[in-house]
Amino acid sequence: MRRNNGTLNGQLARVISELGHTDLLAVTDAGLPVPAGVERVDLAVRENLPRFLDLLDAVLAEVAVEGVLMSAEIKEHSPDMLAEIEARFPDVAVRFVPHTEFKRATGGARAAVRSGEFTPYANVLLTAGVVY
């Protein structure tokens, strides 16, 4: 068993370890379709378990992020969730695109990590940065 407080899920730990600079990683709600060819790390257990923000925090504890892409629809449909997400990226510009474009962009992700979140548009596409 791992000694540190890192990711316990083996598949997610491997995906995070394999990320390189500019690789894309999607962290998603329960409903976002994962394109064929994108590895799915499905952590959803039931409605809102795990919560999107808890999963995002776990990923951000281990991944340097230099870019964030989100669906523009979150501004209207889930403004409280948007505020929580943006608070986690004080030094990173968050870009917004229409949801159909966001879904297309996830096709370039190394993996999509699925939460059990039922809040509409609670999805981010992270661009991995570097720690040096």
Task: Give bridge partners of residue 49 from the DSSP assignment.
Answer: 46
Query: Reduced to 3 states, what is the DSSP secondary structure of residue 18?
Result: helix
Looking at every residue in the chain, the average pLDDT score rounds to 96
Binding-site annotation: residue ranges for substrate: 29, 99, 121-123
> In the prediction, which pLDDT does 4 show?
73
Point out the residues that are catalytic. Answer: 21
> In the prediction, which pLDDT does 75 show?
98
Contact 120, 34 (CB under 8 A): no
Q: Give the integer Cα–Cα distance in Å for 19 and 111.
A: 10
pTM of the model: 0.96
DSSP state of 121: T
pLDDT tens for 50-76 read 999 999 999 999 999 999 999 999 999
Q: Give the integer Cα–Cα distance in Å for 33 and 47.
A: 16
Binding-site annotation: residue ranges: 29, 99, 121-123
Q: What domains can you pick out in the chain, each with its CATH number?
A: 21-128 (3.40.1650.10)
Question: Is 119 exposed, middle or buried, given 0-12, 13-18 or 19+ CB atoms closer than 10 A?
Answer: buried
